[in-house]
C-alpha cells in the first residue's frame, strides 16, 4: 500500500515519509544515539588508535551540532529555530550548552514531532521545581511544518540552523526565502549537510548512492545552495568544507562493525574521495542591525503559526 505524505508537508516524497515514519531511521545502528547525522570527527586523530565505540559515534553527532551552533556570535538569550529537528536532541543540546533563550524545533514529519514531544515531555510540560531542568521551563517547543512553508511570523527568530536536513529539501530557494523572512534583522543562519560539488557530480550521484536514486535525497549543488540564500536577500553568505572531518571518521566507525561494514552509506566516502560531493557549513546573515537580546526574554509565544 502506498503511504500518503504526512500533513506536515504535502509534497514530502514517499521514501522520505517512510524512512522517518514507520522505518524510524533513528533506530538504525549506523545512527546510534538518534541524532541522525554522519557526525563531525575532528577528534579522530586522538581516538583512531583504538576501536571506535558507540559513545564515540554519539559524540560525533553531538559535535556536528556544536560545530554549527558555534558559528553564532551571541546565542545566549536568543530565540533559535532548528529546521529538520527530528527527535529534538539537537534542540536540547542547544538549550543546555549554548544558553539560548528559546529553541523551536520544526520538522515536516508528524512522527518525528511526536517522538520529540514524547522524548522531551518533561521539558515541555514543566520540570519539577528545583530540578536541574527547571531553568528550561517554557524554552522549548516543537512545530509540524515544512522548510519551504515555515509556520512562524516574520522576524520571529534570531538564529536559524539546520543539521543534515537540507538534502531532503525539494525547493531550496523557497527555504531560503522563508529563512530570510523569519530571521530578525541581523539574524544568523547556519546550515550543514552534504552537497554535490557541481552539476556533473549531481548527475552522477544517483548511480553511486541509492539515497539519491530512490528519492530520499536531492543532489543539490553547493554553488546553487549558496546562490539561493543570497538571492533571498541574506548577506555575507560563506561556505566552508568540513568533509575531511566527516567522512573518514564515519566510514571508519562503519568498517569496524561487521553488521555495518557492507552498508551502502559507506559509499559516501567514495563519493567524497572521487570529488562528487562534500560536506559543508554554510553561514549567512539577515540584512539590518541585530538588536541586543536580553537573556530570558524569548517565550513560547514566538512558536506559533502566522
Each residue's pLDDT, cut to its tens digit, for the chain (306 residues) gives 344 444 556 678 888 888 898 888 888 888 999 999 999 999 999 998 899 999 999 999 999 999 999 999 877 789 999 999 999 999 999 999 999 999 999 999 999 999 999 999 988 887 677 676 778 888 999 999 999 999 999 999 999 999 999 999 999 999 999 999 999 999 999 999 999 999 999 999 999 999 999 999 999 999 999 999 999 999 999 999 999 999 999 999 999 988 887 776 789 999 999 999 999 999 999 999 775 443 333 334 434 333
Identify whether 3 is part of a domain: no
CA distance 136 to 147: 26
Identify whether 48 is part of a domain: yes
Identify whether 258 is part of a domain: yes
Q: What is the pLDDT of residue 127?
A: 65
CA distance 10 to 273: 36
∠ at Cα 97 (89, 101), nearest 5°? 90
Number of domains in the chain: 1
Identify whether 303 is part of a domain: no
CATH of the domain at 277: 3.40.50.150
DSSP string, 79-103: EEEEES-TTSHHHHHHHHHH--SEE
Identify whether 81 is part of a domain: yes
Query: What sign for the dihedral angle of Cα 171, 174, 180, 181?
Result: negative
Contact at 8 Å (CB) between 195 and 278? yes
Identify whether 178 is part of a domain: yes
DSSP string, 17-30: HHHTTTS-GGGSGG
Identify whether 103 is part of a domain: yes
Instruction: Name the residue range of residue 151's domain.
Output: 14-288
pTM of the model: 0.89
Identify whether 296 is part of a domain: no
Contact at 8 Å (CB) between 206 and 271? no
Amino acid at each position: 500500500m502506498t503511504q500518503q505524505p504526512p500533513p506536515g508537508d504535502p509534497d514530502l516524497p514517499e521514501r522520505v515519509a517512510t524512512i522517518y515514519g514507520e522505518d524510524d531511521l533513528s533506530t538504525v545502528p549506523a545512527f546510534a544515539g538518534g541524532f541522525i547525522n554522519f557526525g563531525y570527527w575532528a577528534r579522530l586523530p586522538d581516538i583512531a588508535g583504538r576501536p571506535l565505540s558507540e559513545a564515540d559515534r554519539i559524540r560525533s553527532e553531538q559535535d556536528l551540532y556544536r560545530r554549527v551552533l558555534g558559528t553564532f556570535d551571541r546565542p545566549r538569550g536568543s530565540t533559535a529555530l532548528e529546521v529538520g529537528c527530528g527527535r529534538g536532541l539537537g534542540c536540547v543540546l542547544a538549550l543546555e550548552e549554548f544558553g539560548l533563550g528559546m529553541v523551536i524545533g520544526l520538522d515536516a514529519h508528524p512522527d518525528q514531532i511526536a517522538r520529540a514531544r514524547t522524548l522531551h515531555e518533561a521539558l515541555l510540560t514543566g520540570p519539577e521545581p528545583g530540578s536541574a531542568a527547571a531553568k528550561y521551563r517554557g524554552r522549548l517547543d516543537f512545530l509540524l511544518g515544512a522548510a519551504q512553508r515555515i509556520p512562524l511570523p516574520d522576524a520571529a527568530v534570531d538564529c536559524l540552523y539546520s543539521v543534515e536536513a537540507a538534502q531532503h529539501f525539494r525547493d531550496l530557494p523557497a527555504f531560503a526565502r522563508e529563512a530570510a523572512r523569519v530571521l530578525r534583522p541581523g539574524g544568523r543562519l547556519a546550515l550543514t549537510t552534504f552537497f554535490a560539488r557541481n552539476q556533473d557530480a549531481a548527475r552522477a550521484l544517483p548511480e553511486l548512492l541509492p539515497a539519491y536514486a530512490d528519492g530520499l535525497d536531492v543532489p543539490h549543488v553547493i554553488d546553487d545552495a549558496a546562490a539561493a540564500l543570497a538571492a533571498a536577500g541574506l548577506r555575507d553568505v560563506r561556505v566552508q568544507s568540513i568533509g575531511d572531518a566527516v567522512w573518514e571518521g564515519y566510514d571508519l566507525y562503519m568498517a569496524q562493525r561487521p553488521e555495518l561494514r557492507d552498508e551502502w552509506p559507506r559509499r559516501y566516502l567514495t563519493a567524497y574521495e572521487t570529488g562528487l560531493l562534500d560536506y559543508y557549513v554554510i553561514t549567512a546573515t539577515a540584512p539590518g542591525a541585530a538588536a541586543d537580546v536580553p537573556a530570558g526574554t524569548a517565550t513560547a509565544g514566538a512558536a506559533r503559526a502566522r
